[in-house]
Amino acid sequence: MMKDPLLFDFGIGKNFESWTIVNDGVMGGLSQSKASLDADALLFTGNVSLKNNGGFVSLRSAMGKYDLSAYSYCEIRFKSDTERKFEVLIEKDTQFYLPKFRVKFAADSKDWQTVTIPLRDFEISRMGSTIQKGIDPVALKEIQRIGFILADKQEGAFNLWIDYLKFY
């Protein structure tokens, strides 16, 4: 029996209220970001600063139990006004110093686009550095939080519109 997809569908009256911003200010950085809803998408916007050892902004789901072990793919419908590389972030453990699962995606135009990423393409990283390629399927049973991060070591403003994030 196929498991129903896990869908975060953004827009007014849809998923969003429990998502939060986590920026490099937790470590002294000066980057800023915010998230808001429009009619049919979430707008994640801000400015990345490298001052005070900064360099990242993120938007993360509520803490929970997300069993992704039955899924093989992650799909995102989005658009951006920049070609910067954003990442989908999957956290088994939420302490900042423990490894996370991440995969990059980038806009190739300013139009809406959909990307499908095999979960096997995620990398295990710690503090932004890749530890190994691939993801342990057993670890996918115990995910606590899902999100988006921009940590490309580039200063500047960005806008990312996200229609939905789906695991299937």
- The predicted-structure confidence for 60-117, as pLDDT tens digits, reads as follows 999 999 999 999 999 999 999 999 999 999 999 988 888 899 999 998 889 999 999 9
**What's the number of CA atoms in the CB half-sphere (13 Å) around residue 157?**
2
Q: Can you give the pLDDT at residue 105? A: 97
* 158 band by pLDDT with thresholds 50, 70 and 90: very high
> At 15, is the secondary structure helix, strand, or coil?
strand
- pLDDT higher for 161 or 130? 161
Which phi and psi (to 5°) does residue 53 adopt?
65, 30
- Mean pLDDT score, 147-155: 95
- pLDDT higher for 129 or 6? 6
Residues 6+ apart with CB under 8 A from 43: 35, 36, 37, 159, 160, 161
pLDDT at 162 over 80: yes
Other CB atoms closer than 10 Å to residue 167's CB: what's the count? 23
* 18 band by pLDDT with thresholds 50, 70 and 90: confident
Other CB atoms closer than 10 Å to residue 4's CB: what's the count? 8
Which phi and psi (to 5°) does residue 25 adopt?
-60, -25
Find out whether 11 and 39 touch, Cβ atoms under 8 Å.
yes
Cα distance between residue 168 and residue 162, in whole Å: 17
